[in-house]
Chains A and B, each alone.
Chain A
Amino acid sequence: MSAARKHNYDESKIKTLSSLEHIRKRTGMYIGRVGDGSHYDDGIYVLVKEVVDNAIDEFIMGYGDRVTVAVEGTRVTVRDYGRGIPLGKVVECVSRINTGAKYNDEVFQFSVGLNGVGTKAVNALSSLFMVKSHRDGEFASAEFKKGKLIREEKGRTGEPDGTLIVFEPDPAIFDTIVFLPEHLKRRIQLYTFLNAGLTIELNGTAFLSRDGLRDLVEDEVGDEALYPAFHHRSKTLELAFTHTNRFEETFLSFVNGQYTSDGGTHLSAFREGLVKAFNEYSKGKFEGDDVRDGMAGGMAIRLKEPVFESQTKNKLGNTEIRGDLVQQVREAVVDLLHRNPKAAEKALLKIEETVKLRKELQSIKKIARERSRATSIRVPQLKDCKLHFDRKAGTGLETMLFITEGQSAAGSITSTRDVATQAVFTLRGKPLNTCDLNRDVMYKNEELYNLMRSLDVEESVERLRYGKVILATDADVDGLHIRNLLLTFFLRFFEPIVHGGHIHILETPLFRVRNAKRTIYCYSEAERDAAVKEIGRGAEVTRFKGLGEISPGEFKQFIGPVMRLTPVVVENRHSIPSILNFYMGRNTPERRQYIMDNLVVEHE
């Protein structure tokens, strides 16, 4: 039965938007997410990128070796010292879509911005946009508001050749416009790594890289490199890499200076070429993952006609270049290995260690799995909750796991918790110090193995089952020690969980001061003294030495909605190995001296 429904869909409903209207209406298509400036990929940074990309393209063609960028408040100024836009077409180049010189190979090769769209989008999305091109002592400038031309000027000038662009993102499109210095700095840094020899000044600070991708890799890796990075540079291919003791591989890939965060053909060619090269050099049969474990590297290619998977250019799609590229990479890397035998040896050592570790891990995993199947499927130390955190679905953020010091503490929490969202895991005394141990310890130590299984992070950190992992140790010094031991465990093997903001510390009261009428819980001695004054005579002071001394009924308020949680925050991830090694490692003499110099003396 199909009765025709009344509708209004006729010719009058079809519209054609001008390119300017289209950019302002479908912003995402041109610049990706709009955002508010807090993320690296937010719209306002893409605006800066489009303009700076054009300045860099001049450098690539060999004109100008300096670019200045200034960001003040919401105003962005970019000046390059290249050839300058041809004076007769200045207005069209920045406002008529699909207009540009990058369709012409003579004038521009290997450029990223090729669709003739970039600067127009910036213009259309800015409340104020000004372009001034200088050529041979003459200039032509134009000013726009929200993409509409309001003034043009021509004349003579003493300034050097090049183009100046000033723009302010339009608040009508971007709700919040806040440029975070660290995102700007990172982008500028990447530009310099990819264009060695180009100086970029950002708000007065100059950035310059001489060794290009080698500098990039060394910046990324810091002290963790096992040997000085290998570096190869040719006209169309540049690569650099080294090994570290990290647990994953980190690769940054670029095409014509554009960072391809999702990789693509070139990245997979690089990864494959590396493995082939190592196998050829060592006459071995290593597997990809073994060669690349712990590797940090960067690769940049220059391609005449790159095909990206979207205007935001995150992934390269030219499949036809793959075969050749693998060949090129392989040859370059084999050459590097032969020229630097000492470093090559260190790399091979690392690879062999990875292979050994993996084999050991496999056999231990097998044993552990059989063992766990034999005893019981459920983890005895875990009192689970009903709901769980599901990262993909985005549900269950309110679920939490309390890790307690012993059964005494666990008992109080278990009886008063919210069974839907709160789970408890009990440690038996002090956990193992994993600072100098490898991953296989998790399969040899039952407690850590069970903790890992309770969190379900054995395969991947993405499967974490709880929104918050809370260290609920007693409020005494042994509790502090256990916190350090647990932090060492997480930072050593599951660093992403810490960076994800999932680890918290539960603060429980040290004292209870009460009389017949009022009860005050105090978290420090200072608070206790204040409370005693407040309550006056007849104040009864109880010291809670452990969580087990707090009655279940009382405990409920400490893990309820007003729970006092302190998140564990890491600001500088490069400092983690140093911190862990110093406080929890094998350097006893230095630590001993440090304790003596910094002894904490309590005044009773």
Chain B
Amino acid sequence: MSEQPELFGGDELALPVPVEQGGSGGNAMARDIGAVEDGPLKRLVNGNFLNYASYVIRDRAIPDVDDGLKPVQRRILHSLFMNDDGKFIKVANIVGYSMQFHPHGDASIEDALVTLANKQYLIEGQGNFGSLRTGDPAAVSR
């Protein structure tokens, strides 16, 4: 089977660069959102996005440079400090107390607490706190 000769030499005529296949419309468009014209949809999505992203970065996922803690961890340690009487305190009690400062579900606070305890970061845990290496979950906090 003979090779088909290259007509028009290389990439055709001076036509707009065809967008690569694959992905939804090509990643070439994702580079600069400033180039997309303003409109109600862009404002809506942009507003939602920036509010969420800013919150997560500042108040959730990134540790603070001053003390190396994420907000949830700081609140847990504060709760422990406020309730410290030298004796062991039930996990459930601390989680409940932290919810005054941390307006999210108890599951997330408990998971954070378990992780802190496993890393032995100022907290001593009594009982099955699971394992960071194998991924075993902690026992139910009673």
Contact = CB atoms under 8 A, between A and B. Distances in A.
A586 B36 CA distance: 17
Contact of B27 (A228, A575, A587): A587
Interface stretch (A93-101, A334-342, A369-377): A334-342
A436 interface: yes
Given A225-B19, A228-B15, A581-B23, 17 more contacts: A223-B19, A223-B25, A224-B25, A225-B16, A342-B11, A477-B55, A480-B51, A483-B48, A572-B39, A575-B37, A575-B39, A575-B41, A576-B41, A582-B36, A585-B30, A600-B50, A600-B51
Interface in B33-55: 33, 35-37, 39-42, 44-55
A568 B30 contact: no
Given A570-B41, A583-B46, A599-B54, A346 B30 contact: no
B54 A582 contact: no
Contacts of A568: 40-41, 44
A578 B52 contact: no
Nearest to B29: A578
Interface stretch (A182-190, A266-274, A526-534, A590-598): A590-598
Main secondary structure of the interface of A (DSSP, over half): helix
Contacts of B13: 228
A340 B12 contact: yes
Contacts of B133: none
Nearest to B16: A228
Contacts of B23: 436, 581, 585-586
A487 B7 CA distance: 45
7 contacts: A484-B45, A569-B40, A578-B29, A583-B45, A587-B31, A595-B50, A601-B54
B124 to A, nearest CB: 32
Of the four ranges (under 10, 10 to 19, 20 to 34, 35 or more), the interface on chain A belongs to 35 or more
Nearest to A473: B48
Given A477-B55, A484-B48, A579-B42, A492 B33 contact: no
A428 interface: no
B18 interface: yes
Contacts of A569: 40-41
B27 to A, nearest CB: 6
A182 B31 CA distance: 30
Given A483-B48, A600-B51, A577 B40 contact: no
Contacts, number: 144
Interface residues of B, number: 44
Interface of B: 4, 7, 11-13, 15-16, 18-19, 21, 23-27, 29-33, 35-37, 39-42, 44-58, 103-104
A436 B40 CA distance: 23
Indicate the member of B31, B36, B57, B103 with the most A CB atoms within 10 Å.
B36
A570 B7 CA distance: 43
Contacts of B47: 480
A295 interface: no
Interface in A495-519: none
Contact of A595 (B40, B45, B57, B104): B57
B33 A578 contact: yes
Contact of A577 (B11, B29, B58): B29
Contact of A484 (B33, B49, B103): B49
Indicate the member of B42, B53, B58 with the most A CB atoms within 10 Å.
B53
A178 interface: no
Contacts of A341: 4, 7
A226 interface: yes
A588 to B, nearest CB: 10
Contact of A571 (B39, B52, B104): B39
A563 interface: no
List the 6 shortest-distance A-B pairs measured between CB atoms, nearest first.
A577-B25, A600-B54, A228-B15, A581-B30, A587-B30, A480-B48
Contact of A581 (B27, B37, B53, B104): B27
Contact of B49 (A339, A349, A583): A583
A571 B30 contact: no
B41 A435 contact: no
A571 B12 contact: no
A480 B46 CA distance: 10
Contacts of B36: 575, 578-579, 582
A524 interface: no
Interface in A553-573: 568-572
A350 interface: yes
A241 to B, nearest CB: 14
Nearest to A498: B41
